[in-house]
Amino acid sequence: MHRNLKKAPLVLPLPLLILTLGVAACGGTSATTNAPANEVDMGAANFIQTSRTITAGDSIHFVAEQGGATHVLCIGKDGGCDAGATGPQDLTGQGFTIQPGESHDVQFDKAGVYHITCPIHPSMNLVVTVR
């Protein structure tokens, strides 16, 4: 029995370590869980939030992570800008460029569903629903 008591202190810290690491990993990034409803954060090649719903007249606040990549945002899908699309001027045509560490606000005045993409990173797709 004396021998089992010596092993007990070594066995207990391992489950506590696993639990602690698991809880820390579940925390995620603040950009994912704590971003305001009108904010869209961008990683190196993705939108962290892939959809947002706002009211007509509100703006989406685009944030490119520091040390990330350059993005070009436009109305379109899968990396293709829709040249004939209507919507906020900043997103029509070839859209606008946002550099790492920068942010940019885009106001959506009309109700509708807007698909936004990045030609540099074709898998970046965002849906903005304006009510």
CATH number at residue 53: 2.60.40.420
**How do residues 46-103 score in pLDDT, each as one tens digit?**
999 999 999 999 999 999 999 999 999 999 999 999 999 999 999 999 999 999 999 9
Asked if residue 101 belongs to a domain, the reply is yes
Full-model pTM: 0.74
* Domain of 117, in residue numbers: 30-130
Q: What angle do CA 85, 91, 96 make, to 5 degrees?
A: 140
Asked if residue 12 belongs to a domain, the reply is no
Q: Residues 6 or more apart from 77 whose CB is under 8 A from it?
A: 115, 117, 125
Based on the structure, what is the number of domains in the chain? 1
Asked if residue 16 belongs to a domain, the reply is no
Asked if residue 22 belongs to a domain, the reply is no
Q: Look at residue 35 in the predicted model and tell me its pLDDT.
A: 83
